[in-house]
Amino acid sequence: MLRQVFRIGSRRSYSYKSVRRPNLGALSGNVELEQSQKLKQPSGANASQNGNLAKQLAAKIQATGPITVAEYMREVLTNPQGGYYMNRDVFGREGDFITSPEISQIFGELVGIWLMNEWQKLGSPSPFQLVELGPGRGTLARDVLKVLSKFKSGAQFTMHMVEISPYLSQAQAQRFCYKHEVLPEGEQLSHYQLGTTATGTQVFWHRRLEDVPAGFSLVLAHEFFDALPVHKLQLIDGQWQEVLIDVDTKSTTADFRYVLSKAQTPVSQLFKPVQQEQRTCLEYSLEAERHVRLLSERLEQHGGIALIMDYGHFGDKTDTFRAFKQHALHEPLLAPGTADLTADVDFRHLKHVAEMHGDIHCCGPVQQGAFLRNMQGEVRLEQLLAHALPENQSIIRSGYEMLTDPNQMGSRFKFLAMFPGVVAAHLEKYPVAGFG
């Protein structure tokens, strides 16, 4: 217990991702095609920061033309060589941002209790799979695992981490496995790493959600969807057009700039706005849509529950694409690979896709503060305080406040739950905890 208390204490002073971002307003309204505005660089930026990834991206653009914001984001975050997530720990004091599970153990514990409560209401199916998309340092999985080990009452389960980063997958294994092995390249397996927890649970690491075996699954995604690539679209003269990224040829460094596509792109053609869409400038994530479709199919065919937790909006934000470095905003088109890129999750779109694509019953989104309070977060807080050293009390309290205060993470972060449609009537009778 003391170790946990110290863990909270050592994290408290970092910042989570804020909302401010560079202004893309220059691209809305009466812009001329291919006429772009170079975004202002922060002072201290120089060519040497850009590195190989910037050169690779510039070479590609020069060879084949401007790329979509989604392609830029995908390369910057997950390029096997220089991708932001691929080769280092990006969290905490030495990193660029802090996430809720890293701020307080209360977060993971309440998520674990929620999962067990809803699983029991569905008849405690066994065996089941605990699946996490983008587990980061593995802190949420570790805290949830502690709860599951206590409350699973004899049920069998395996863990499945969907993680693209070889570095972070190792960090996760070290966090909650007593042994693990990375499998040799070239093995035709759906997983690339295998581990065993101290309580004997088998853990598999997969690169893609598609690779997780079929079966009743409890799926968690915390700050995963915001890392999925977004396309930026603008409605001009009644037609959706895509914002692209080009090299700034006037510069001697490998800086990039936004341009509007001259012609329709595959995504601008494919994009179908929801009926009530009012925005003329928005972000659209095909990857997020693909993941929600996969989740919907999985839940419908094999049963399970998914909980998506992220910062986001309900279809009303326009420009949220931004970069984060060392706990401060960073220019997204500068030194790609050295800063996190993120965009707020459009929960209205995710919900729409889930409900349209499959027979899925969605709950929420609700604000994080409301969810944690509904899950009796204060009771757990008081328990922790009762056992904490006096010098740690204010730190524990402020960690919980940070998660729940509407002016901090309490309102920006939202929870969306997905259930198979067949249990909708059951859930009417026995309402889903946390969402009331």
Interface with ligand SAM by CB under 6 A: which residues?
77-78, 85, 99, 101-102, 134-136, 140, 162-165, 168, 222-224, 227
DSSP state of 162: E
* 318-336 b/e (C-beta count within 10 Å ≥ 16 → b): ebbbbbbbebebbbbbbbb
Yes or no: say if 418 and 374 are a contact pair by the CB < 8 Å rule.
Answer: no
The residue among 309 and 334 lying less far from ligand SAM, judged by its C-beta, is 309
Residue 97 CB, nearest approach to ligand SAM (Å): 7
- For residue 218, what are its two tokens? 């409890």
The residue among 257 and 414 lying less far from ligand SAM, judged by its C-beta, is 414
The residue among 166 and 273 lying less far from ligand SAM, judged by its C-beta, is 166
The residue among 78 and 376 lying less far from ligand SAM, judged by its C-beta, is 78
Residue 345 CB, nearest approach to ligand SAM (Å): 12
The residue among 140 and 177 lying less far from ligand SAM, judged by its C-beta, is 140
The amino acid at 369: G
- For residue 276, what are its two tokens? 């009530």
The residue among 79 and 201 lying less far from ligand SAM, judged by its C-beta, is 79
Q: Is the dihedral of CA 428, 433, 434, 436 positive or negative?
A: positive
Helix (H) or strand (E) holding 369: helix 368-374
Residue 224 CB, nearest approach to ligand SAM (Å): 5
DSSP 61-82: HHHH--EEHHHHHHHHHH-TTT
- For residue 146, what are its two tokens? 């502690």
The residue among 165 and 368 lying less far from ligand SAM, judged by its C-beta, is 165
Yes or no: say if 293 and 72 are a contact pair by the CB < 8 Å rule.
Answer: no
Residue 342 CB, nearest approach to ligand SAM (Å): 7
The residue among 223 and 344 lying less far from ligand SAM, judged by its C-beta, is 223
- For residue 429, what are its two tokens? 């009778």
Nearest to 140 by CA among 14, 19, 224, 226: 224
Residue 310 CB, nearest approach to ligand SAM (Å): 9
DSSP state of 41: P
The residue among 134 and 365 lying less far from ligand SAM, judged by its C-beta, is 134
Residue 168 CB, nearest approach to ligand SAM (Å): 5
* 219-228 b/e (C-beta count within 10 Å ≥ 16 → b): bbbbbbbbbb
Q: Say how far apart CA 380 and CA 264 lie, in whole Å.
A: 53
Residue 409 CB, nearest approach to ligand SAM (Å): 12
Nearest to 215 by CA among 175, 160, 136: 160
Yes or no: say if 113 and 147 are a contact pair by the CB < 8 Å rule.
Answer: yes
Yes or no: say if 171 and 134 are a contact pair by the CB < 8 Å rule.
Answer: no
Yes or no: say if 400 and 382 are a contact pair by the CB < 8 Å rule.
Answer: no
Residue 411 CB, nearest approach to ligand SAM (Å): 18
Asked if omega into 127 is within 30° of 0 (cis), the reply is yes
Residue 140 CB, nearest approach to ligand SAM (Å): 6
The residue among 211 and 355 lying less far from ligand SAM, judged by its C-beta, is 211
Residue 56 CB, nearest approach to ligand SAM (Å): 19
